[in-house]
Structure 1
Amino acid sequence: MRPVGGAEVVPDQDSRLNVGFEAYRCANCRRLVLAHGWTDFKPTNDWDDAPSDLWDHPQAQQPRWLPPAKSNRTFPDVPAAIESLAVEAHDCLSIKADRAAVALARAVVEASAKEKGVARGSLIAKIDELHQLGLLRGHIKEAAHEVRFGGNEVAHGDLTPVDHEAAEEILTLMDEVLNDLFQSPARVARARQRRLERSQAGPASVHTSASEGQPST
């Protein structure tokens, strides 16, 4: 990010603190974003003598970005409705909306079970049945249960704190569940299809090449 123009500091009437704002341009996409955060700079300071980049100054605190960064995660072999849930969970994680991310991760696991035809019973029963059907490996079944545990703490309204590191771990496990249920089988199916296509095309291509090497009559 490169600063565009100067920074501005304005007083916040509610907190009696000061908020710094500065526009930046992304060196990659060339779009503008806005950084903002609390600062000890005073609006009455002689701003001409202040640094051009507010956030390089030791008094400035780590800024937040508007619009917030997204995760850019995709799950191409996952059904669209479930993929949208998973992507939204990662987007929540990227802005440290950790409880929202964990709650969505649990929803992803349950929606995935229903997509695979396992729709009855509690989520515990659904996960265990997915394993019994051979759709989840043993350790991935345990990963799904860890996602369930994390989501339950949020969904049941116990107001249990979820730190960012724990949320990251739960979403990594959610990704593993999606891999077992959808992405890995799809990759295997594509590899098998390519092999079959090669085996069917192989003799014909060899015959064609040999024929091309013979003189015409």
Structure 2
Amino acid sequence: MATDTSCPYCKRLTFMDYVQDSARIVDEDDMRAEAAFQCAACGRFSVGGKQYAGFTTDTSGHSFPLRLHETSTPAEIAAVLIGSIEYWEPVAPVGKAYEDVPAAISAPADEAYRCLSIDAYRAAVLMSRAVIEATAKKQGIKTGRLVDKIDALAERGHIRPLVAEAAHAIRLMGNDMAHGDFASTAISRADAEDALVLMDEVLNDVFAVKNRLEGLLARRAGEEPAG
């Protein structure tokens, strides 16, 4: 039996082969089942699991016990677990590729998405804030506070006014945390997701639109007939 997922070690989308007789119920209170799996690409082992593996839910939302119990055999547990795995350990962070952004900026932007994928919401927001500041510095805006750098990006035409507002929203969200005041800042997943989407708007304005336009114009110029 096998299932497919991204391997946390080799980062490939691959088949994870179930290790025979490894399935166990590891928490009887919530019927959490886990099993060992081996990556078909690199050979390393991961754990796949599911909470409430011994229950099913009907269309009305009522849960009914299946035949799993604390004395179920590994084969019985695996039959329920395979194909319905909810989580993998260790967690494989998922980033984002940026084709039109310089590596010095795209690498931390990708890292921000990796933080989000493992539920590190405060880290994701802080990274997005830092990406915006690094973007300003890449444009030669190296002095002043972040608020001044964002204003300068807008004043010089690098970002649209609405995108400047988005950048300020990220700045404000991360301000307290940037200065070590974590207790006063609650960050939800929705907050972090919005921060990264808005960060992408900054990167799109500053880098992607310009690079794609230059590529388009260069191709069009090469295709125009001489004379």
Amino acid at match of 1:52: A
- Whether the 8 Å CA contact 1:102–1:154 is kept in 2: the answer is no
Cα deviation for residue 79 of structure 1 reads 1.6
Structure 1: give runs of 5+ residues left out of the alignment: 205-217
Deviations 1:17-38, CA, capped at 9 Å, x for gaps? 98642235789x7976422466
Give the TM-score normalised by structure 2: 0.72
Identity %: 35
Q: 1:70 aligns with which of 75, 78, 93?
A: 93
Match of 2:132 in 1: 109
Give the TM-score normalised by structure 1: 0.75
- Whether the 8 Å CA contact 1:22–1:54 is kept in 2: the answer is no
Q: Which has the higher strand share?
A: 2
Structure 2: give runs of 5+ residues left out of the alignment: 4-16, 55-67
Change in Cα spacing, 1:203 to 1:64, as seen in structure 2 (3 Å) is same
**Is the deviation greater in 175-184 or in 66-75?**
66-75
Deviations 1:62-82, CA, capped at 9 Å, x for gaps? 843124233241112212121
Q: Which has the higher helix share?
A: 1
Question: Which SS does the other structure have where 2:48 is aligned?
Answer: strand
Change in Cα spacing, 1:140 to 1:194, as seen in structure 2 (3 Å) is same
Asked if residue 184 in structure 1 is aligned to residue 197 in structure 2, the reply is no
Match of 1:203 in 2: 226
C-alpha distance in structure 1 between counterparts of 2:50 and 2:122, whole Å: 23
- The RMSD of aligned alpha carbons is 3.4
Q: 2:76 aligns with which of 34, 50, 68?
A: 50
Change in Cα spacing, 1:186 to 1:34, as seen in structure 2 (3 Å) is same
C-alpha distance in structure 1 between counterparts of 2:174 and 2:135, whole Å: 15
Q: Any residues of structure 2 matched to 1:28-39 within 5 Å, and which?
A: 33-36=46-49
Change in Cα spacing, 1:20 to 1:161, as seen in structure 2 (3 Å) is same
C-alpha distance in structure 1 between counterparts of 2:154 and 2:126, whole Å: 22
Larger Rg: 1
Match of 1:9 in 2: 25
C-alpha distance in structure 2 between counterparts of 1:49 and 1:198, whole Å: 64
Match of 2:61 in 1: none
